[in-house]
Amino acid sequence: MTKTNSGNFFEDFRIGQVIRHATPRTVTAGDQALYTALYGSRFAVQSSDAFAQAIHYPQAPVDDLLTFHVVFGKTVPDISLNAVANLGYAGCRFLAPVYPGDTLSATSEVIGLKENSNRQTGVVYVRSTGTNQRGEDVLEYARWVMVRKRDVEAEVVGQKVPTLPAALTPDVIGNAVPMLNTRGYDLALAGSAHRWGDYEIGETIDHVDGFTVEEAEHMMATRLYQNTAKVHFNQYTEGQGRFGRRLIYGGHVISLARSLSFNGLGNAFHIAAINGGRHVAPLFAGLTVFAWSQVLDKQPLPGRDDVGVLRIRTIATKDKPCAKLPLEIVNDQGKTEYDPAVILDLDYWVAMPR
């Protein structure tokens, strides 16, 4: 019997299957510093203990997306080692802050399966949960991923596509943000003068800047998260695949877009939830990522006058500044589709001081 792990193929999954993922990970201040080095994130709450403590955090929490990536990385060897592509997310809630020194573990439940018509691949739907060393849930989300079959003739039983929420309600902020002392929130140090009340539904923001993706950086990032997906690391296999080269991890794009969004959303210090997201097209090293956002909704939180939440849609593009971008085009068949430059369409709630 082999002692190595070749990963699960599509026909290995069963609806209701619960997987406890290996390798708990203690998140350190070094991880946060490396995350900043990779993406240049400038949100003050995650950058400064002094700033965070002035508004009633015990210390600076780690970046929400660092928590997401670490939990996501735990799931890869069992869920998406043989993936063709990660397709989307839904119902993602950040449930509690994570601080340097916390240890994160992950479990996943298979909630849906759908074989593709070519019988070579299928889509696996999972709900994954990240917990800390005290057994407290810090993150949960659903995602769906296209996975290769080991045997194209293998029969797959119990197929179904799960019903997933189109959006979450604003109260999902839960305990992830303590009651803030907003009088201690220094707008000059935060780098933006605009609070929750300054934004309007329908407003669009071009985040202006662009980040060129380097091969070494994206590979360092995926190693940081212990993400072992072959499509990101193994040029020997990917050189024989559909694109002939490694794909940039989709979460890398999300973090780049989030970092770019600081220019225009500098006080959106916490991601409360991700309603849904699509990796519209692949990204490769050497291309430049741009982003713009639209305010979809704006809500106060029941019983709280310290923060409100904005529902944001952020679009990321490759090699096309957003000021020049039509989000959608009409193709030769008369159908509406994304502009070819669009690589990410992300719908999420952010918390902002009032």
- DSSP of 143-187, one letter per residue? EEEEEE-S-TT----S-BPPP--S---GGGGTTSSPPP-GGG--H
288, HSE (Cβ side, Cα atoms, 13 Å): 9
* pLDDT at position 174: 66
Total of domains in the chain: 2
In a domain, 229, yes or no: no
Is 322 in the same domain as 338? Answer: yes
Q: What is the pLDDT along the chain (354 residues), one digit of tens a residue?
A: 678 888 899 999 999 999 999 999 999 999 999 999 999 999 999 999 999 999 999 999 999 999 999 999 999 999 988 888 888 899 999 999 999 999 999 999 999 999 999 999 999 999 999 999 999 999 999 999 999 999 988 888 889 999 998 899 887 766 788 888 888 999 999 999 999 999 999 999 999 999 999 999 988 999 999 988 878 888 888 888 888 888 899 999 999 999 999 999 999 999 999 999 889 999 999 999 999 999 999 999 888 899 999 999 999 999 999 877 667 666 777 778 888 899 999 999 999 999
As a whole number of angstroms, the longest Cα–Cα distance in the chain is 64
In a domain, 148, yes or no: yes
Alpha-carbon distance of 187 to 349, in angstroms, equals 21
* pLDDT at position 78: 95
Is 171 in the same domain as 154? Answer: no
Is 158 in the same domain as 266? Answer: no
Is 202 in the same domain as 158? Answer: no
Q: Is 137 helix (H, G, I), strand (E, B) or coil?
A: strand
- Enter the pTM of the model: 0.93
Radius of gyration of the chain (CA): 20
Is 154 in the same domain as 293? Answer: no
In a domain, 121, yes or no: yes
In a domain, 183, yes or no: no
* pLDDT at position 244: 84
Alpha-carbon distance of 136 to 165, in angstroms, equals 23
The answer to whether residues 113 and 124 touch, using CB atoms and an 8 Å cutoff, is yes
In a domain, 7, yes or no: yes
Is 62 in the same domain as 149? Answer: yes
Alpha-carbon distance of 285 to 287, in angstroms, equals 6
Single-letter residue type at 22: A
Is 171 in the same domain as 157? Answer: no
Cα dihedral value 51, 56, 59, 62, nearest 10? -90
C-alpha to C-alpha distances, 191 to 58, 105, 196, 299, 305, nearest whole angstrom = 22, 34, 15, 23, 22
Is 34 in the same domain as 159? Answer: yes
Q: Is 71 helix (H, G, I), strand (E, B) or coil?
A: helix
Alpha-carbon distance of 68 to 104, in angstroms, equals 10
Give the structural domain span for 47: 1-163
Give, to the nearest 10 degrees, the angle between helix 29-39 and helix 215-224: 150
Is 170 in the same domain as 139? Answer: no
Is 154 in the same domain as 171? Answer: no
Q: Which of 163, 185, 205 is the last residue of a domain?
A: 163
Is 44 in the same domain as 171? Answer: no
* pLDDT at position 6: 86
Percentages of the chain per state (helix, strand, coil), in multiples of 5: 25, 35, 45
CATH at 271? 3.10.129.10
* pLDDT at position 145: 94
Contacts of 19 (CB under 8 A, 6+ apart): 75, 78, 79, 107, 108, 109, 110
Q: Sign of dihedral through CA atoms 56, 59, 63, 64?
A: negative
Is 155 in the same domain as 18? Answer: yes
Q: Distance between alpha carbon 61 and the CA centroid of its chain, in Å? A: 17
